[in-house]
Amino acid sequence: METYEALLATLALLMGVSWASGINLYAALLVLGWGGSTGHIVLPDELSVLQDPLVIGAAGLMYVIEFFIDKIPGMDSLWDSIHTFIRIPAGAMLAAGAVGDVTPALEIAAGILGGGIAAASHVTKSGTRLLINASPEPVTNWSASLSGDLLVFSGLWTALKYPEIFLVLFVIFIVAVAWFLPKLWRFIKIMLSRIAKFFGLAQTHSNSTQDTTAVTAAEMQENYPVTALERLQQLRDKGMLTEHEFEQQKKQILKNNSFQ
C-alpha cells in the first residue's frame, strides 16, 4: 500500500511540475522551493536545491517580472516566445529530478516525458494568449494571466496533496489539449501570416504563391500547352518550383494535351 501511494505521489509530482513549468515556471519553482523550505512538502533529494534561499529569491524576482509583463498585450506573447527555450528544458529537468534516485534510463525517460508535457502546456498557454491578443480589450488578457497563475498554484497544491485527483484532472487536460491544439495551430498560422504581411515579410511568399497557383488545372487543360510550359519554366527559373515539381506538371500538361 505504501509503495502504491509513493508511486502515485511521484507520478503526480512528475506530471505536476512538468505541466506547471510550461505555464509559469517561476511560480512552480516558488511553490516547490517555499513548500520544501517550510516543511509543507517533502521534495526528492534531487530537487532539494530549490529550497535554497537564493533559488527562492531568484524565482520570486522573475515571477514578479513575469507577473507584470504577462498583463501587457503583445509583450506577453513575446515573453512566451523567449521562454519556449526555458520552460521546456526546465520542465524536463524538474521531471527527471522528481523521480528521485533511480536508474539513469528511468531518469532520462522521465525527462523526456516531462519535456513533452511542458511543451504541450506551454504551446497551449502561448497559443491561447496569442488568440486573446487578437482582441483589443485588455480585460480578457488580465483575466487569462491571473487565471494562469491561480491554475499553477492550485494545480501543484493538488498534485502534492491529492495526487489521485490531480492525475484524473491531468488526463482530462491531455484529452482537451489533443482536441484543442490542431484548431489552435490553424489560428496561429493565420496570425503569423498576418504579422508577416504587416511587416512586409510575406510579400515574396505571397507573390510566389500567386504565380504558382496561376498554373491551375484549367490552364493545363486549355489548347495552349506551349504557353503553360513557358509559365512553368519561368517559375522553375525563379526558384518557385523544384525540378521535380516542374517535371510533374510538365508531364501533366503534355498528357492533358494529348487527350484533347
Domain enclosing residue 39, as ranges: 2-198
**pTM listed for this prediction:** 0.72
Asked if residue 225 and residue 146 are part of one domain, the reply reads: no
Domain boundary among 164, 180, 198: 198
Return the pLDDT at 206: 47
Three-class DSSP category at 181 = helix
* Same domain, residue pair 153 and 252: no
| Residue 140 and residue 47 share a domain | yes
In the prediction, which pLDDT does 141 show?
82
Given this model, what pLDDT does residue 232 score?
A: 73
pLDDT value of residue 130: 82
Q: With contact defined as beta carbons under 8 Å apart, do 167 and 12 qualify?
A: yes
Domain count, the chain: 2
Nearest 10 degrees: Cα torsion 222, 224, 227, 232:
50
Listed as ranges, residues in the chain with pLDDT below 50 are: 204-206, 208, 214-217, 219-223
Both 78 and 96 in one domain: the answer is: yes
- Tens-place pLDDT, residues 75-119: 998 999 999 999 999 999 999 999 988 889 999 999 999 999 999
State whether 232 and 125 are in the same domain. no
Find the radius of gyration of the CA atoms of the chain.
26
pLDDT at site 259: 53
User: Does 192 lie in the same domain as 222?
Assistant: no
Residue that is last in its domain, among 198, 225, 249: 198
Considering the domain architecture, whether residues 141 and 175 belong to the same structural domain is answered as: yes
